[in-house]
Amino acid sequence: MDIIKVNKKPKQCMSVKLQRLLILMTAIMMALVTFTACDEDENGEDDPNGNGGVSGKRVKSTLSTCSAPGYVNFRTDITYNSDGTVKRTDTYDPTSSKLLWYCIVTSNSNGTTAKSVLYDQINVGTTLEETFFYNSDKTIQKIQSDTFKDGVKAGTVIWEFTYAYGKKIRQTYHTEGSSDLGEIIFNYDAGGRRTTSVTTYYYDGGRQSPTITHTRTYNADGTVQKVTYPYGYDGDSQMITYEYTWENGKTTMDFDMGEPW
C-alpha cells in the first residue's frame, strides 16, 4: 500500500521510505498473526457473530497475488501450538519456494498473543517486533510495532482500535513522535458479517488521500475466501488478492480481532 508522508521538521520526521517500510511490514505482520483464526464455539456451531469463520476451523495458509509490476507474490504457512495459539508463520515466494521472512509468536497464559517477531530474510538484519495490549475482556486496544536494523531501533508504528457492539469499527495508526495518521473504517452487513474496510491516509494540513477499499468474499461455510483491493487507489485496474486456505483445529484467537482488513 502507498503511504503519504506528513510534512514535519527534519529532526522530527523519518524518511518516506522508512515510513512506508514500517507501515507495510506492520500490516503484513497483523495479517499473518491476527488474521489466522476464529473463535471456537463450545457448542460446535457456526460462529454466531459472522466473524469470517466457523467454529473449529482456522487458517492453514494464505496466498497474496497481484500482476502489477514490482509486486512480490507470497504464500504464508501458519503453525499452531497444541492449545490453538499461533506458534510461527513462514512466508515464501510461491514460485521458487524461497523463504522471504518468518515470524515467531509468543502468547499470554490466557491465549492472547503477547508478542511476535518477524525476521526479514530479504533485508537481512531487519526485524519487526509487535507487542499487543488488551483490555480486561481480552480485546486488543493497541499494537506497538518496533522495527530494528542490525539491533538498532529504526522506528515505531502505533495501531489503536475502536469497537461498537462487539465489532471493530475503526483502526488508526501513526508513527511514533509524529502526527502522521491513517485510519481504516470497517463496514458490516445486516447479519454482522464484515463486507468492506476503507483505508484513508491523512497528511499535512489534514488533507486526505484517495481511499483504498478492501472487499471480502466468503465460502459457503462462512469462512473468508479472499480479500481484494486495488494495488494503488480505487479505480486502479491491478488488484491485490489475498486467498485463504482453512483447516480443522482448535484456536483461541478471534478471527477479526486485530487483522487490518
Domains of the chain, start order: 10-248 (2.40.128.720)
Q: Retrieve residue 57's grid coordinates.
A: 476451523
- Average pLDDT per run of 10 along the chain, which is 261 residues long? 32 48 62 48 38 68 90 92 91 94 92 92 90 90 92 90 91 79 90 91 67 91 90 72 91 72 77
CA distance 100 to 91: 6
What radius of gyration do the chain's Cα atoms show? 18
C-beta of residue 208 within 8 angstroms of C-beta of residue 200 = yes
CA distance 216 to 236: 18
Q: State the pLDDT at residue 182.
A: 85
E strands, 74-232, in order: 74-80, 86-92, 99-107, 113-120, 126-134, 140-149, 152-164, 167-175, 181-188, 194-203, 207-208, 212-218, 224-230
Q: State the pLDDT at residue 115.
A: 95
Q: State the pLDDT at residue 37.
A: 40
Choose among 200, 192, 145, 211: nearest CA to 170: 200
Looking at the chain, list the stretches that DSSP marks H as alpha helix, in order from N- to C-terminal side. Answer: 16-34
C-beta of residue 215 within 8 angstroms of C-beta of residue 1 = no
Q: Retrieve residue 258's grid coordinates.
A: 486485530
Q: Retrieve residue 28's grid coordinates.
A: 503484513
Q: State the pLDDT at residue 114.
A: 93
Distance of CA 158 to the CA centre of its chain: 13
pTM: 0.81
CA distances from 199 to 169, 173, 188, 214, 227 (A): 12, 11, 15, 8, 14
Which residue is listed with cell 483502526? 171
DSSP 37: B
Q: Three-class SS of residue 233?
A: coil
Q: State the pLDDT at residue 21.
A: 55
Q: State the pLDDT at residue 84.
A: 87
